[in-house]
Every structure is written in C-alpha cells, then in structure tokens.
Amino acid sequence: MKSRAPQFPIIPPPESPTRLVVWLWVLVAVGIATLAAGISGYETKRVWMSYLINFVFWSGLAQSGIIFSAAYRITNGRWGETIRRVAEGFVFFIPLSIALFLVMYAGKEYLWPWITEPIEAKAAWLNEPFFFARVTFYYTVLAILSYRYVAISIRPDVGLLKENGLAPSSRWVDRVTAKWKDYNSELETRNSKLAKLVPAVLAVFGIVYSFTGFDVVMSLDPHWYSTLYGWLYMVHAFDAGVAATIIVAILARRYFNLQQYVSTKQFYDVSRLLMGLCMLCGGFYWSQYLVIWYGNLGEEIGRLIVRFSHEPWPAFQWAVIVLLYFFPIAIFLSRSIKEKPKALIVIATVILAANWVYQFVEIAPALWTEHSVPLGVVEAGITLGFIGTVGLCWIAYARVVPLVVPAMSETKVENHH
C-alpha cells in the first residue's frame, strides 16, 4: 500500500462550548433527580419503565454510531469521512452504558416480571443472576471492541495534531497516541489492525444486539416469542444511530464552522442510507406482523391486539408506522431535500423521535396496565438526563478529536450519476 502524505489544512478541534456544557450538566442533574425521586417512592414504576426505554434507546444509538463507522470501513466507503468521525464520537457513552444497565438492578422487580414470578419451565434462561451476568458480559465485550476500534481509528489524526502542537492537552490523547511513529506508518498500521478488528466488531454487534433484544426487551412478555425480534431490535438501533449522527453532524458543521470542509453531498449520501434503513426497519416489522397476524395463534396474537386496539397504545403504534416506515420514503424521494441541512435536521429529528416511540410502544404496554398514558414530567426528566449524558460524552470526544479527517479534507466528493 502506498503511503499517503497528509493534506493540510489540519483543523484543530474547536473550543469546548462552555454554555452548552453547563446546560447539558443541568439536564444530567434533572435526570438524576428524577431517578432519585423514583427510587424514593415517587411514581417508581414509571421511573423505571422510562429508564429502561431510554436505556435501550440511547445505548443502542451510541453503539450504532461505532457500527456505522465499522460498516463504512468494511464497505470501503469514501463518501462521508466527517460523518463517520461524528458517528465515532458516541464512543464514550458505550462503557458508561454498562454502568447504566447495572443501575437497573435496583429496579428489577418493576421491570422483568419473571423476576418476581419465576417461570419454572424457562428458569434455565430467565433467572436473575444469569440474566444480569450475561447481559453485562454482552455489553462489556462489545464495549471493549468498540473502544479499541475507535482508539485505533482516530490515532493517526489525533497524533498528527499533537505533532503539530494543535492538540489540547488531554491524558486520553496521550494514551491513544502512545509510542507514536510518523503519520504515514501510523496510517499503515491502523489499516492493517482495522482489517482484522472491523469484521469482529460487526459480528459481535450482530450477536449481542440480537440477544439483547431477546433478553432485555422480549422477555418483558416472558411467554411471548418471535424469532425475528432480535434482528428487529438491532435494525431499529442502527436506524436511530444514523439519524442521531446526521443531527449531530449538521449541528457540529454549523456551530464549529466546518461548512467549507463538509460538503452537502455527504448529507445526500447518508440520507439515502437512512432512508434504506427505515425501509429495512419497516420491512422487518411487517415480516413479523404479517406472520403473527396471519397465523392468529393465541400465544402470539395478544401482543398485536394490545398494541393495535387497546387504549392508549394504537395512536403510538400508528405514529411509529407512519413516521418511521412511510414518512422517510416519501420525503426522501426528493433529491434536493437530502442536501439541505436545515430541512434534513428536522427530518432526522422526526425519525429519531419515532424510534424513541418505537421503543416506548414495544416496552410500555408490557408493563403499564392502566388506561392513562405514561408520558409526563417523569418521562421527560429521565429522557433529558440521558440526552445530557450522551451530549456530554460526545462533546468530550469532539474536544480532542478533529472532525475533519486531515488526509481527506481536500478530497473531492464524487459526482452522482
């Protein structure tokens, strides 16, 4: 492989946006306060339910950022280096999400019904110690691989900044760039290391996210089962990850003034990916729905009946179907809208919100038996807490890692057919 000389300019990471960081800390505080209120007896069940919804949503989203980057590499993608870099930025949330999962140990009786009423026939799989041990194990393996992947992926660029005296002082940067040689040989080392690591990251993600779907969410209805559920859970997480990446990329491009380095063509391509993923989610959802509806078996159909005809769920279920599966196809038929950041951020936000509602309508009906809608201050508090945490993690990354990849900053974006 030929060694490439870095093409300047190197764009150093921007100053940390202090005001935003303060606000994000406020959101974290709100989240912690809501959780504390829940633990001490205020709307305890709702707090834990909302916590689980947000946990699966945000941890899946953050993990999918890394998976997007790995998939981009394995397909030899060259169309969106900055977007890839933005997606990798969720990396700090991933190890944290192991701890956030373990927090749910405190609320386990409110969440998985088989913990309070064990099902003898399924006890070999659905028992408390094994459940917490294996889910922690899944997340830990994936977190180690993901962290290692991102550290290797960014090393040449961060090292280059440091070499030029542009890197902010950070112990993390020092660790990532330990034993630095020179840019070109670092690039080669990176490529050969990633060639082995990337398939492993993707394969482990496929296994872990399928089984997380079965364990963490499907087992909320312990008697119900669907062979597709794991993949359904996985593709929705991926979809949310790409939508979130688009939103963050647009915001970062604007607030860090990267317009001249990040062409709107990158948004065009990533929008097509998002549209394809929404179609995939819809296709998978339909594949599961149709088989159950047609079979009309007592042990399966209940889940659909609850969500499609028991108040208050149908409105949410239909919102997901319309906004997550149909709306993206309709809106993204327009070519120009994919290149307009202002319109795109609204569309991606709608899709992201619909993904949240998807998790809500998958989880809440299994736990919430009253007629009221479990959406209010409690849910807002927990959700804001997660937004704050993910936001802080991303900013901590963007403070030290250049979003514009130096070697690619002047690469022309290919014309479309």
Footprint of other proteins (CB under 8 A): 75, 121-122, 125, 199, 203, 206-207, 210, 214, 225-231, 279, 283-284, 287-288, 290-292, 294-295, 297, 299, 414, 417
Q: Measured from the CB atom, is 145 or 173 closer to other proteins?
A: 145
Burial of 190 (0-12, 13-18, 19+ CB in 10 A): middle
The Cα–Cα gap between 369 and 201 comes to 39
Q: Measured from the CB atom, is 158 or 235 closer to other proteins?
A: 235
The Cα–Cα gap between 90 and 392 comes to 10
Instruction: Work out how close the CB of 287 gets to other proteins at its nearest, in angstroms, rounded to a whole number.
Output: 4
Q: Measured from the CB atom, is 29 or 330 closer to other proteins?
A: 330
Q: Measured from the CB atom, is 294 or 342 closer to other proteins?
A: 294
Q: What is the 3-state secondary structure (H, E, C) of 315-349?
A: HHHHHHHHHHHHHHHHHCCCCHHHHCHHHHHHHHH
Q: Measured from the CB atom, is 152 or 234 closer to other proteins?
A: 234
Instruction: Work out how close the CB of 298 gets to other proteins at its nearest, in angstroms, rounded to a whole number.
Output: 11
Helices (H) and strands (E) in the chain, counts: 16, 0
Q: Measured from the CB atom, is 122 or 254 closer to other proteins?
A: 122
Contact between residue 270 and residue 242 where contact means Cβ atoms under 8 Å apart: yes
Which three-class secondary structure state does DSSP give residue 238? helix
Phi/psi at 308 (5° precision): -100, -15
Instruction: Work out how close the CB of 104 gets to other proteins at its nearest, in angstroms, rounded to a whole number.
Output: 21
Spatial CB neighbours of 231, under 8 Å, sequence gap ≥ 6: 210, 213, 284
Measured torsion, CA atoms of residues 291, 296, 299, 301, in degrees rounded to the nearest 10:
80
Instruction: Work out how close the CB of 209 gets to other proteins at its nearest, in angstroms, rounded to a whole number.
Output: 11
The Cα–Cα gap between 374 and 135 comes to 27
Instruction: Work out how close the CB of 119 gets to other proteins at its nearest, in angstroms, rounded to a whole number.
Output: 8
Q: Measured from the CB atom, is 58 or 285 closer to other proteins?
A: 285
Q: Measured from the CB atom, is 207 or 350 closer to other proteins?
A: 207
Among 57, 78, 54, 70, which residue's Cα sits nearest to residue 4?
78
Instruction: Work out how close the CB of 381 gets to other proteins at its nearest, in angstroms, rounded to a whole number.
Output: 35
Instruction: Work out how close the CB of 230 gets to other proteins at its nearest, in angstroms, rounded to a whole number.
Output: 6
Among 375, 349, 377, 351, which residue's Cα sits nearest to residue 364?
375
Instruction: Work out how close the CB of 314 gets to other proteins at its nearest, in angstroms, rounded to a whole number.
Output: 21
Instruction: Work out how close the CB of 227 gets to other proteins at its nearest, in angstroms, rounded to a whole number.
Output: 4
Burial of 351 (0-12, 13-18, 19+ CB in 10 A): buried
Which one-letter DSSP state was computed for residue 55?
A: H
13-32: b or e for each residue (b if 16 or more CB lie within 10 Å)? Answer: bbeeeeeebeebeebbebbe
Q: Measured from the CB atom, is 256 or 284 closer to other proteins?
A: 284
